[in-house]
Amino acid sequence: MIQVYGIKNCNKIRNTLKWLRENEIEHEFYDLKKEPLTREELEEFAYRIGLDVLVNKKGMKWRQLGLNKQELSDKELFEQLLEHQVMIKRPVLVKDEAMIVGYDEEAFEAFVE
């Protein structure tokens, strides 16, 4: 089963969930606003795919916090991401040990096989 992490009202999440349903892919959705990742879970995500991939530096929250004007260490960036999980690039799909980030139907097709 594929785990999907994101925010319910995000268009990319809606499109991802629709794609999974249309392709009859068994999945479970985790809304990061209602069920934020624990420190350990986020550390695992960051370890597996890297903070640079995981953080959405083009998002509104990134700019609202003024992070685009700061030089953050990986530790500082991680702490910001832990506190503001809406900055996680969406969707994050997890299947066993594999993980992909971002909406890409071609990547989804390869991922679910």
Q: Which of the residues are catalytic?
A: 10
DSSP 39-67: HHHHHHHHHHH-HHHHB-TTSHHHHHTTG
Burial class (CB in 10 A: 0-12, 13-18, 19+), 66: exposed
Q: What is the residue type of 44?
A: E
Helix, strand, or coil here: 28? strand
